[in-house]
Structure formats: structure tokens, C-alpha cells
Amino acid sequence: MGNRFQVTDRFADGAQYIGGRLRAGTSGQEHSVIDPATGESVYTYALASTADVDEAVAAAKAAFPGWAGATPGERSDALHRFAAVLAERAEDFARVESLQCGKPLKLTTEFDVPGTVDNAAFFAGAARHLQGQSAAEYSGDHTSYIRREPIGVVGSIAPWNYPLQMAAWKILPAVAAGNTIVLKPAELTPLTSLMFAQAATDAGIPDGVINIVNGAGRTVGEHLVGHPDVVMTSFTGSTPVGKRVAEIATATVKRLHLELGGKAPFVVFDDADLEAAAHGAVAASLINSGQDCTAATRAYVQRPLFDAFVARVAELMETVRIGDPFAPTTDLGPLISHVHRDRVAGFVERARGYATVVTGGEAPGGDLKDGAYYRPTLITGAAQDSEVVQSEIFGPVLVALPFDSDDEGIRLANDTPYGLAASAWSRDVYRANRATREIKAGCVWVNDHIPIISEMPHGGTKASGYGKDMSAYSFEEYTQVKHVMYDNTAVAAKDWHRTIFGDR
Ligand code: NAD
């Protein structure tokens, strides 16, 4: 088990990918990747130092002129080849992602990996679609046009919950637009980001365009964000760390993109299809063991449906099969680590003092006792201002609360600091449409909760941050819009000069 999928052999040269090759970090500190299903170490690597970051940024800077100078068509061709290599290696990616994260293989096989391949194919297309206003004589005396240019070396930081998809979301729009990048994945989950960069090299993307540094957040992460040769930072992670990243990025005047925490509401109006809402709530609260920034965490259910909803969700949660991520029948794997599992359990234990745990609320024992598992958990009776309603738990925990009027449901949905995602459940198009307008979130689903798609943006508002991943919106964020203005008069004393000197 210790060396499943030969990860130790495969990354024997180290866990840093700089200038197109793997090498060891030079911090003198080591970190182990732990299989959260067993608690066993599967790979130990040397963490990056700040000097390694400098080298990675230098490699990205050296690669920038050539990559930025490639035609959109050439970059598009390279990304199409990249998508093909990712698709060929889909099974390998799915297995290693399941190993390092504890995700059920059916999730990595049907969601993480195909989503990543589709993202690569999407950005291969996007590379050829540079959008801007038409060139025209807007002033009368000049021709104005827009150039959309790559901006330089991007420094990005990713979390552990979807390491492969986060690498894809950060790297693909940046390189499609002609930038080069240094990505720092989370220390817990370095492996699939390295494999992603290797696949890019094998697809013919030049050395130095994509670099991966695996190091500690406080040292290597902060050094990357503050690096003078990095022009943009794209960060996905928790809101407290995002605030720190913002401080450093602001001090060095960087373009900044923050994808932070969430506490998504799931609003069920009294005309909703109860069975659909209950199924949706179970799937959307348990996806990736609830370690999903858009996961349904607060179900507000209009009073006539509340009791039936709670009963049905509890019943369905109890059918969810917890187990070995590699077993085909497993629905729910472990959480990312024992430390994180204990943190999730802490929220539930404290909630027992002020709310009711309807189902779950414990770690399974038996064969699963060594893994970081936690049962699907449903809580009712919590006050709106309580910790389980307001704080991001990031585990398989759903809180259900009743509401009376539509106004109240929407008000409660908006009553947290976060604004990443939400859903509204109703068969009344006017009610649902009102909810989509009035709920403050980067995405509002109607009669569903979770699906994402390459063509549509992902990103939040309020304490969930700003900026978009995926879609043409994200591609645009990785470009610099430049206005070019040509004088068409060839006149020395131009009319507008009289505002500075002389008369008409
Ligand atoms: P985290 O904020 O602890 O860490 C995220 C990354 O930041 C890691 O790579 C970490 O090493 C690095 N980091 C830590 N301290 C740093 C510092 N001082 N300077 C620079 N980098 C630093 O988050 P996590 O626990 O890895 O991930 C879970 C969080 O990510 C949750 O809050 C979740 O909601 C959020 N998330 C958001 C989205 C989104 O799209 N909005 C997507 C996925 C996850």
C-alpha cells in the first residue's frame, strides 16, 4: 500500500517542477503525503525553499518572451495536444488524485479528471478568441484599437480539496493567454499538479512555461506572492489566508484574484419537488466529503416542507456507503487528514450544546478506524448566528433550518459573510427568478446544486473573494487590455493643444 502507483519511484527526483524537470526542494524540511484512508505515508519529499521559488520564477520569466510571442494558433495547438495527453492518462490521474486526497475513485474518474481534460480543451479554443472593442475613429481624429496582451509571470496558489482541478483552473487560462506560471499547490497534495506539468511538457509546451513549487504557505507561498517578477497572483484557499495574500500582493501592486471560502445556502420553497430537493441536498452537501467551497451547507426549508425534508435527508444520508476510496461501491471517502477530520468533529461536538444532531456526528469505527472518516451529518435547531450556520466547516455536515416567508428565506440565505454559491428550489419560475436576482453569490443554481462547466465562470463575492476561474472571463483576467491610439490628422498644432497653450 505504501507505494501505491509507484509514486515514490515516479517522483524519486523530487517534488519541484522547474524549467521542465523534476528536482528536489532545498529547504532542508520534509513533508509526507499521507493516504487519508489509511493514515499511511505514501511519499516523502523535500519542501521548496524561497531560493527554489526564485529559480522557478526565473525559469518562467525566461520562458515568457517565447511563449507570449507564439501565435494564438500555436498556443491553441499545444493546449489541444495537452488535452489529448491528459485524456490518455486519465486513469493514472484519477488513481493518484484518489490516493492523495481520499476521494472515491468514481468521483475522480467521473468529475475531477474529465473536468480537467475538458478545461484544457476549452482553453485551447479560448486561446484563439481574443476579444475587444472594434477599431474605430471614436474621437474623429484618431484610430483607436485594443490589444489584449499576456501580462507576464503569474504566481498562483492552490488548496488541497481539488488539487488537479485547481492546477487546471490556475494554469490553463494563464498559459492560453500567453503568460508563464509558477503554481504552489497545497503541501498535502503535491502529486497531480506535478503530473499535470509533466503532461504539459510531454505535449510540447516549452520548458519554464509551467513550474510547480511544493512548499510551505507561510514561507514559499508568501515569497511567491511578494516576488517582484510576478505580475499577478491567483489564490484559491481560505478567507483568512486570502486576506494575508491580499496584503502582500497590494504592497507589491499586483493584479489579484481571490477564490476564497464559502457557506452555500440551499433554499427550498414550499412548492419545490421535495424528493428532488432531498436528493440534491445529500449529493451537494457530501460531494468530496463536503470539502467543496460550493457545497450545500445551510438548507433553508419553507416550514410546510421542513419536517419531511429533514426526515428524507436523514434517511438518504444513512444510505451513503463510506469506505475505501478505491472500492467501486464507495460513495464517501475520508476527509483530507485526521487533523481536519477532528476540526470538523469539533464543530459538531460544540453544536450538540445548542442544536440537534439528527444523524451522523461521529467517525465510523471498525475497518475504517485508521482513516480520517466522518459520517454524513445533519443538524437542526441551530440559531442563525451560531457557529455551525456562520462558519465554513468544510466537511460532510449539513444544517437545516426552517423559514416562513420568501423574504425571510432570501434574507437568511444572504446572512453570512460569504457569497460563493447558492441554490433555489421551486417550481414557480417567478419565485426562482427572484431568488437568482436577490441571493448574493457568484453562482445561483435553480433545482440543482454543484454542477460546473468549462464555459461558465466560477468565483464569488463578499468574503468569498473576487475574480473568475474557468470560462472566457477567466481567460480575460490573465490578459492586459491596451488601448492603442493613432493620430490621423498629421497636424502639428492639434486642436486640443489650445487647452494647454495658445488660442484657437
Ligand atoms: P488554505 O488557505 O489553508 O491554504 C491554501 C493554500 O495557501 C495552500 O497552498 C497553502 O499552503 C497556502 N498558504 C497558506 N498560508 C499562506 C500564506 N501565508 N501565504 C501564501 N500562501 C499560503 O486553504 P486549504 O485549507 O488548503 O483549502 C480549503 C479552503 O479553500 C476552504 O476555505 C475553501 O473554501 C477554499 N476553496 C475555495 C475555492 C473557490 O473557488 N472559492 C475552491 C476550493 C477551495
Q: Say how far apart CA 116 and CA 147 lie, in whole Å.
A: 29
Find the helix packing angle between 191-202 and 163-176, rounded to 10°.
40
> Model confidence over 125-167: pLDDT tens digits?
999 999 999 999 999 999 999 999 999 999 999 999 999 999 9
Q: Say how far apart CA 203 and CA 87 lie, in whole Å.
A: 12
Beta strands in 279-388 (DSSP E): 296-302, 356-359, 377-380
**More reliable by pLDDT, 235 or 2:** 235
Q: Say how far apart CA 98 and CA 324 lie, in whole Å.
A: 10
Q: Say how far apart CA 448 and CA 479 lie, in whole Å.
A: 33
Q: What share of the chain is helix, strand, coil (3-state, %, to 5)?
A: 40, 20, 35
Question: Which atom of ligand 1 approaches the CA of 241 most closely?
Answer: 2
Q: Say how far apart CA 436 and CA 438 lie, in whole Å.
A: 6
Residue 493 is predicted with a pLDDT of 94
Q: How far is the centre of ligand 1, averaged over its atoms, from the C-alpha of 48 (Å)? A: 18
The answer to whether the CB of 218 is under 6 A from ligand 1 is yes
The residue contributing the CA closest to ligand 1 atom 18 is 218
Question: Which atom of ligand 1 approaches the CA of 162 most closely?
Answer: 43
Pocket test for ligand 1, best of 29, 101, 103, 157 (most atoms within 8 A of CB): 157
The residue contributing the CA closest to ligand 1 atom 35 is 237
278-to-247, 275, 282, 296 alpha-carbon distances in Å: 41, 5, 6, 12
Residue 301 is predicted with a pLDDT of 99
> Model confidence over 357-406: pLDDT tens digits?
999 999 999 999 999 999 999 999 999 999 999 999 999 999 999 999 99
Is the CA virtual torsion 318, 322, 328, 334 positive or negative?
Answer: positive
- Give start-end residues of each CATH 3.40.605.10 domain in the chain: 17-260+464-483
Is the CA virtual torsion 182, 185, 186, 187 positive or negative?
Answer: negative
Q: Is the pLDDT reported for residue 453 higher than 60?
A: yes
**More reliable by pLDDT, 469 or 3:** 469
Helix (H, G, I), strand (E, B) or coil at 237: coil
Q: Say how far apart CA 429 and CA 432 lie, in whole Å.
A: 5
pLDDT band at 1 (very low <50, low <70, confident <90, very high): very low
∠ CA(209), CA(211), CA(213), 5° rounding? 165
Lowest mean pLDDT among 130-134, 211-215, 422-426, 432-436: 130-134
Q: Which three cell numbers stand for residue 224?
A: 511567491
Q: How far is the centre of ligand 1, averaged over its atoms, from the C-alpha of 261 (Å)? A: 8
Lookup result for grid cell 443538524: 379
The answer to whether the CB of 187 is under 6 A from ligand 1 is yes
Q: How far is the centre of ligand 1, averaged over its atoms, from the C-alpha of 185 (Å)? A: 9
Structure pTM?
0.97
Q: How far is the centre of ligand 1, averaged over its atoms, from the C-alpha of 160 (Å)? A: 8
Superfamily of domain 17-260+464-483: Aldehyde Dehydrogenase; Chain A, domain 1 (3.40.605.10)
The answer to whether the CB of 391 is under 6 A from ligand 1 is no
How buried is residue 317: exposed, middle or buried, by Cβ count under 10 Å (0-12/13-18/19+)? buried
Catalytically active residues are: 259
Question: Which atom of ligand 1 approaches the CA of 248 most closely?
Answer: 19
Q: Say how far apart CA 465 and CA 245 lie, in whole Å.
A: 12
The residue contributing the CA closest to ligand 1 atom 16 is 217
The answer to whether the CB of 237 is under 6 A from ligand 1 is yes
> Model confidence over 187-215: pLDDT tens digits?
999 999 999 999 999 999 999 999 999 99
Q: Is the pLDDT reported for residue 450 higher than 80?
A: yes
Q: Say how far apart CA 158 and CA 344 lie, in whole Å.
A: 21
Q: Which three cell numbers stand for residue 323?
A: 469506505
Question: Which atom of ligand 1 approaches the CA of 242 most closely?
Answer: 2
Q: How far is the centre of ligand 1, averaged over its atoms, from the C-alpha of 221 (Å)? A: 10
Q: What are phi and psi of 249, to 5 degrees?
A: -65, -40
Q: Is the pLDDT reported for residue 171 higher than 60?
A: yes
Residue 5 is predicted with a pLDDT of 75
Residue 2 is predicted with a pLDDT of 44
Q: By C-alpha distance, which of 465, 474, 390, 451 is closest to 420?
A: 465
> Model confidence over 224-251: pLDDT tens digits?
999 999 999 999 999 999 999 999 999 9
Q: Say how far apart CA 378 and CA 434 lie, in whole Å.
A: 28
DSSP string, 461-498: EETTEE--BSHHHHHHHTEEEEEEEEE-S--SS-GGGG
Question: Which atom of ligand 1 approaches the CA of 261 most closely?
Answer: 34
Topology (CATH level 3) of domain 264-446:
Aldehyde Dehydrogenase; Chain A, domain 2 (3.40.309)
The residue contributing the CA closest to ligand 1 atom 41 is 259
Average pLDDT over residues 270-278: 98
Average pLDDT over residues 487-496: 95
- Give start-end residues of each CATH 3.40.309.10 domain in the chain: 264-446
Residue 168 is predicted with a pLDDT of 98
The answer to whether the CB of 343 is under 6 A from ligand 1 is no
pLDDT band at 504 (very low <50, low <70, confident <90, very high): low
Half-sphere exposure of 307 (CA within 13 A, CB side): 1
Pocket test for ligand 1, best of 187, 222, 293 (most atoms within 8 A of CB): 293
Average pLDDT over residues 347-365: 98
Q: Is the pLDDT reported for residue 275 higher than 70?
A: yes
Q: Quick check: 249 and 233 in contact, CB under 8 A?
A: yes
Q: Say how far apart CA 238 and CA 413 lie, in whole Å.
A: 20
Q: By C-alpha distance, which of 472, 479, 468 is closest to 146?
A: 479
Pocket test for ligand 1, best of 188, 225, 238 (most atoms within 8 A of CB): 238
For residue 31, give the H/E element and its range. Answer: strand 30-35
Rg value, the chain, Cα: 25
Say how many C-beta atoms besides its own lie within 10 A of residue 133's C-beta.
11
Question: Which atom of ligand 1 approaches the CA of 293 most closely?
Answer: 34
Mean pLDDT, the chain, rounded, equals 97
Q: How far is the centre of ligand 1, averaged over its atoms, from the C-alpha of 239 (Å)? A: 8
Q: By C-alpha distance, which of 289, 268, 292, 264 is closest to 441?
A: 264
Average pLDDT over residues 299-318: 98
Residue 6 is predicted with a pLDDT of 83
Alpha helices, H only, 328-428: 338-351, 387-390, 406-413
The answer to whether the CB of 297 is under 6 A from ligand 1 is no
Q: Please give the DSSP secondary-structure letter assigned to residue 499.
A: G
Phi-psi region of 426 (alpha: psi -120 to 50; beta: other; left: phi over 0): beta
Lowest mean pLDDT among 1-15, 43-57, 261-275, 412-426: 1-15
Residue 3 is predicted with a pLDDT of 53
Q: Is the pLDDT reported for residue 318 higher than 70?
A: yes
